[in-house]
Chains A and B, each alone.
Chain A
Amino acid sequence: MGLSIQIDFLLATLMVSSTPILLAAIGEMVTERSGVLNLGVEGMMIVGAICGFAIAVETGSPFLGFVFAAIGGALLSLVFGFLTQYLLSNQVATGLALTLFGLGLSSLMGQGYIGVKPPSTGQINIPVLSDLPYLGRILFSHDLMVYFSLVLVASVWAFLKYTRAGLILRAVGESHDAAHALGYNVIFVRLSAIAFGGACAGLGGAYLSLVRVPQWTEGMTAGAGWIALAIVVFASWRAGRVLLGAYLFGGITVLQLNLQAAGVAIPVELLSMSPYLITILVLVIISSDRNRAALSAPASLGRAFHASH
């Protein structure tokens, strides 16, 4: 069969296609470890996508674009934070509201930017390493954000495992009453985690609009935020496994796109729906072991905290 799929090219694009979901998922993981379930990832991502795109186009600097995407995502997430932490609204409903609002807001903001080309984000060829045969092209000649996302995953892992602040964050997520009794400011910790999650989702969205696509179209996240949420469950709330999950998913996406391009005799629609179907399948496998799923989820996840004293 004349499959024109080159494995090394496929692996190289894998990292690029995984990065948006990786960024969003690692941020959401931190939010959930603090005991907050924010279902607004999709909304924060798409607002990040247009914020980053607009700023990058206006200033000509992708770097500033990414900075403002993170700020935009964080600001939007703080709306969610204010409602759930101070006004004690239902987290599921508020997260959904964030997604619906974000989708509307982003298309409103993006009206003037349809069909515009963003400034290109330069590739960084790491000297020596990028000249390695085979591996150099796959691993060491990407743009800065790919490496940033990897560093971010490692930092989150180290932060949660080795630092005092990470321990407090986990304590708040496991038992907010105990953490409160010990004198920790539960609401502050959770707001910070929510804002971090929002900033990461914003970065992920901007990576989509500035590098991965690169273009602005309405609703361009196409469920990436929901898949990021699924990856957090898949990863059992562990940083390393978030990386694994995101790259696995990115791999599937790249593979199905390549199969589409290669004109394999599988209906295009079936290929396009495969990432979603596989995500569902993975969720089923992970959650079917009831004990393990219950043990790894933060114990206070999704529960509102109200200090009566």
Chain B
Amino acid sequence: MIRLEKRPTPSRGWSYLAPLVAVLATMVAGGILFAFLGNDPLVTIRTIFWDPLFGPLASYFRGQLLIKAGPLILIAVGLSMGFRAGIWNIGAEGQYIMGAIFGAAMGLAFYPMEARWLIFPLMIIAGAFGGFLWAMIPGILKTRFNTNEILVSLLLVYVAEQILASMALGLLRNPEGSGFPGSRNLRQYESTANNELIAGWGMHWGVVAAFIAVIFAYILLTRHIMGFNIRLAGASPRAAKFAGVNPNRLILFCLGLSGALAGLAGMFEVAGPAGQISIDFNVGYGFTAIIVAFLGRLHPVGILLAGLLMALTYIGGEAAQATLGLPAAAIQAFQGMLLFFLLALDVLTNFRVRIGREGHA
């Protein structure tokens, strides 16, 4: 008989090993899934995980890697703070959209003035503020009215999508776009463009911001009292209360921070890779970032690696779509599966598996 025995403290070894085993298990399960879809599993796995990095077209794909990983890491770092403290912001997708709208609106308000030194920083502030504002709604409702932040933040994604549609068709529509929906292209406007800093690397200001966020989060968690409070509230809410941690402040801080970072990600995306506000601007980074946060063990450095891996599945998935005809949705299912395996394997971090009856072992 198999029994689970609670470990006194989580196993360090397994907490590092679990994500790796989960990735391997997902590759096996994914291979079976791809075989069902009529693709050769080994070829598909190689196309997704190997070819973008080392294959013949690697020079193109490597640039894409940072472009995709940037927003994922930026959003996931913010989310991980709240997840650690048991505050569940799952509406990052909405905050991402609002950040993009605020940032783009700020930049377009100055059109066609040429003053990048002023306009671009203002856009960054506006983007962060947009996401912050959108995350404050569940935050304030939670602290004032005890409303469930999971449901409110998620429902606000649908509201943000409607606002996005309204902006693309109305207020922010390109007046010279001959009636087509979508805003002016921010990349073609010198003062707002968030272009690659080194051609071909995929490194734009959003990726720089993601790296800064990782360092900032690491210092916050290990060296700052707020980081200690976050970890304390997650490990033992009662102890946090006795230690004088104000739960409302913690909620507002975690939601505000994750919202601001998601908003930043949206702003850098709209001014860079996406280029304009359009109806289908958001592609689900806010949701994938949840997987990234967990895969990275809610740790900033882990999130950095997890973000790169998840970006790889995105571009590998696109490559497999182009060369093997693998449906786009397969990658989404693949990513969801990865989170399942990770959560399942976490049992080994917190429990010891014992075989045999109690007392005989």
Contact = CB atoms under 8 A, between A and B. Distances in A.
A86 to B, nearest CB: 8
Nearest to B152: A280
Contacts of A89: 343-344, 346-347
A269 B347 CA distance: 45
Given A97-B339, A279-B155, A287-B146, A83 B344 contact: yes
By CB atoms of chain B within 10 A, which of A106, A227, A277, A287 has the most?
A287
A100 B335 contact: yes
A290 interface: yes
Q: How large is the interface on A (under 10, 10 to 19, 20 to 34, 35 or more residues)?
A: 35 or more
A284 B141 CA distance: 7
A287 B290 contact: no
Interface in A134-160: none
A218 B165 contact: no
Most chain B C-beta atoms within 10 Å of own C-beta, residue among A104, A227, A279: A104
A226 interface: yes
B147 A284 contact: yes
A179 B330 CA distance: 42
Nearest to A275: B158
Given A101-B333, A104-B334, A233-B151, A290 B146 contact: yes
Interface in B129-167: 141, 144-148, 150-152, 154-159, 162-163, 165-166
A276 B157 CA distance: 9
B57 to A, nearest CB: 25
Contacts of B165: 269
A259 to B, nearest CB: 15
B143 to A, nearest CB: 12
B294 interface: yes
Given A83-B343, A111-B327, A276-B155, A287 B4 contact: no
Interface string B270-281: 000000000000
B329 interface: yes
A287 B148 contact: yes
Contacts of A104: 329-336
Contacts of B83: 93
Interface in A184-230: 218, 222-223, 226-227, 229-230
A223 B329 contact: no
Contacts of A287: 145-148
Contacts of A273: 158-159, 162-163
Given A104-B331, A288-B147, 19 more contacts: A39-B150, A88-B350, A89-B344, A100-B291, A100-B336, A103-B332, A104-B333, A104-B334, A105-B333, A223-B155, A226-B151, A226-B154, A267-B166, A269-B163, A272-B162, A279-B151, A280-B156, A290-B146, A308-B6
Query: Which 6 pairs show the lowest CB-CB distances between chains A and B?
Result: A101-B336, A104-B332, A104-B333, A107-B329, A269-B166, A97-B339
